[in-house]
Amino acid sequence: MDKKINIVAISGSIRPHSSNMAVIEAAKAYLDDRVNFTVYHGIDKLPFFNDSKEDIPEVTNFRDILKWADGILICSPEYAFGVPGVLKNALEWTVSTGELVYKPVALITASTGGDKAHASLLLTLTALSSNVADDAKLLIPFIRAKMSADGIVTEPATLQAIYSIADALIRVISEQEADSH
């Protein structure tokens, strides 16, 4: 029997009920019976990146979670036309140790606009040598208009797009695992 795929989701927003968490919850609900789906909630606990300090428990834990994962789902807003600092900082902690090298990653940017953060995150993931397939990238502008008053993604086309990204991530992970055997 095949082992279940391990997916770690990271929100670029640290607000507990953010629209980005709503997108992650939609992906989790869609994938939950097929994969081990873990949401990492600790990016705001990581200290500022400093490559001369390596033995930090929060950083070690973050890196171990990324190593454990077969794939990563990142969902981020855009703040001040850029990537949220806490997310950029978290990604920087993987530069010298390579947890995201060749790792399948799906990127969703859900914000009012989002195009600048989306482009910047794709550049960062390229620099980290992550495996981001063309069909594993999604920009959801005006996300709040696609949600219910209680913070759930409800707009059918947006939900289908989230499901397509989740399927693309599963496909890339499966292809990569098949190639390694």
- Tokens linked to 41: 């909630």
Taking only the tens place, the pLDDT of each residue in 84-139 is 999 999 999 999 999 999 999 999 999 999 999 999 999 999 999 999 999 999 99
Interhelix angle 85-92/115-127, nearest 10 degrees: 10
- Tokens linked to 157: 């086309």
Structural contact between residues 35 and 66, judged by C-beta atoms closer than 8 angstroms: no
Task: Count structural domains, the chain.
Answer: 1
Give the span between the Cα atoms of 104 and 55, in whole angstroms: 26
Taking only the tens place, the pLDDT of each residue in 149-164 is 999 999 999 999 999 9
- Tokens linked to 173: 């992970």
Q: Which domain holds residue 67?
A: 5-179
Give the span between the Cα atoms of 12 and 180, in whole angstroms: 31
Residues linked to residue 82 through DSSP beta bridges, in sequence order: 79
Provide φ and ψ at 141, rounded to 5°: -75, 155
Give the span between the Cα atoms of 63 and 32, in whole angstroms: 23
Structural contact between residues 107 and 121, judged by C-beta atoms closer than 8 angstroms: yes
CATH value at residue 52: 3.40.50.360
Taking the CB of residue 22, how many other CB atoms lie within 10 A of it?
23
Give the span between the Cα atoms of 84 and 88, in whole angstroms: 6
Q: Which whole-number Å values give the CA distances from 157 to 140, 143, 147, 149, 153, in the listed order?
A: 10, 12, 12, 18, 10
- Tokens linked to 103: 């790792």
Report yes or no on whether pTM surpasses 0.75: yes
- Continuous segment of H or E residues that includes residue 108: strand 105-111
Taking only the tens place, the pLDDT of each residue in 28-82 is 999 989 999 999 999 999 999 998 887 899 999 999 999 999 999 999 999 999 9
